[in-house]
Amino acid sequence: MQNSEIKLIALDVDGTIMDKSYRISDRVKNTISCAVKKGIKVMIATGRMYSATVPTAVELGLKTPLIVYQGSLIKEFHESDRTLLHHYLNTDISYEVIRDTRKKNVQINAYLDDKLYVETASPILVDYAQRRSIPYHTVDCFENCENFLPTKILAMDPDPEKINRLVGEFKEKYSDRLNITKSTDYFCEFINKKCSKADGIMFLAEKWGIDRAEIMAIGDHDNDREMIDFAGTGVAMGNSHDNLKQAADYVTESVNNDGAALAIEKFAL
């Protein structure tokens, strides 16, 4: 942990600032507002789609670019929708992943041009889309899609052990070509090898002249590991798994107890 003044705070969304009811508490909102007023750049770093993240950023009163799709896309939203960085998955490896994933009998989501495409709408997909207010588009077969260059592929299943096995197996096969991570116990995500939340934070920090020691990152799951390792002050939520807590500089309270706000107050305000 660094003792430098915090100039940038990167926040995961689900399980970090937003609870299972998709609510952000007043204390978290107020604390973020105080950090912004102090001149700290507060930003979102999430696996979510861009369109599903903009309302959260607006609710928080943020103006910084959004790091979405686990760092595959960095895009402005406040005064423009200019794309600052975007790494796709190429068509060949996307189809290879999809063919392998089909064999596992899991829900497969493909995200192209910030739209969600599926071949089947299983119960977990319907629940996922309804809870996040995300429309989805059904296609007969991904291989029939033109210019198939997804920003992200997501495999979902209600059995967390099945997802764990899938992550382990696919990392063994694809780790040299893809970044594979879990964003919840039920989601296995595939993105471009060049991308992670940490890479997105680094990209913006360099533009703004902010040193690594001046960065604070707060998250709750495996996909937050790289940014917590990278940040001068890496914070794990109290509702995180033990491996993330062990990697963090500091473990705060759970999302239900406003852990993100407590960490910001402790280290930045």
Is residue 72 domain-shared with residue 137, that is, in the same domain? no
Instruction: Name the residue type at position 118.
Output: V
E-strand ranges in the chain read 8-11, 41-44, 66-68, 73-75, 83-86, 107-112, 115-118, 136-138, 152-156, 178-184, 187-192, 215-219, 233-236, 250-251
Position 2 in a domain: no
Angle subtended by helix axes 50-60 and 26-37, to nearest 10: 80
Is residue 109 domain-shared with residue 185, that is, in the same domain? yes
The candidate with the shortest Cα–Cα distance to 173, out of 242, 266, 104, 81, is 104
- The CATH number of whichever domain residue 205 belongs to comes to 3.40.50.1000
Is residue 31 domain-shared with residue 106, that is, in the same domain? no
Q: What is the pLDDT of residue 36?
A: 98
Segment 225-233 mean pLDDT: 97
Q: Rounded distance, CA 76 to CA 31, Å?
A: 23
Provide the edge-to-edge strand list for the sheet that holds 250-251: 41-44, 8-11, 215-219, 233-236, 250-251
Q: Residues for the chain: how many in total?
A: 269
Is residue 25 domain-shared with residue 147, that is, in the same domain? no
Q: Rounded distance, CA 192 to CA 178, Å?
A: 5
Angle subtended by helix axes 91-102 and 160-174, to nearest 10: 140
Count how many domains the chain has: 2
Answer with the one of 145, 166, 192 that is the final residue of a domain.
192
- The tens digit of pLDDT for each residue in 105-142 reads 999 999 999 999 999 999 999 999 998 889 999 999 99
- pLDDT over threshold 80, residue 3: no
Instruction: Quote the pTM value.
Output: 0.94
- pLDDT over threshold 90, residue 4: no
168 CB neighbour count, 10 Å cutoff: 11
Is residue 213 domain-shared with residue 164, that is, in the same domain? no
Segment 95-101 mean pLDDT: 97
- pLDDT over threshold 90, residue 1: no
Is residue 162 domain-shared with residue 182, that is, in the same domain? yes
Answer with the one of 170, 192, 214 that is the final residue of a domain.
192
What is the domain range of residue 234?
8-86+195-267
Torsion of CA 19, 12, 50, 215, to 10 degrees: 150
**Among residues of the chain, what percentage have pLDDT more than 70?**
99
Q: Rounded distance, CA 142 to CA 269, Å?
A: 48
Residue 204 φ then ψ, to 5°:
-75, -40
- The tens digit of pLDDT for each residue in 183-221 reads 999 999 999 999 999 999 999 999 999 999 999 999 999
Is residue 181 domain-shared with residue 248, that is, in the same domain? no
Confidence of residue 90 (pLDDT cuts 50, 70, 90): very high
- pLDDT over threshold 70, residue 2: no
Answer with the one of 174, 192, 210 that is the final residue of a domain.
192
Position 257 in a domain: yes
- Mean pLDDT, the chain, integer: 96
What 3-state DSSP class applies to 117? Answer: strand
Residues paired with 236 in a beta bridge: 219, 251
Q: What is the DSSP letter of 78?
A: S
Q: Are 182 and 223 in contact (CB under 8 A)?
A: yes
- The tens digit of pLDDT for each residue in 31-85 reads 999 999 999 999 999 999 999 999 999 999 999 999 999 999 999 999 999 999 9
- The CATH number of whichever domain residue 112 belongs to comes to 3.30.1240.10
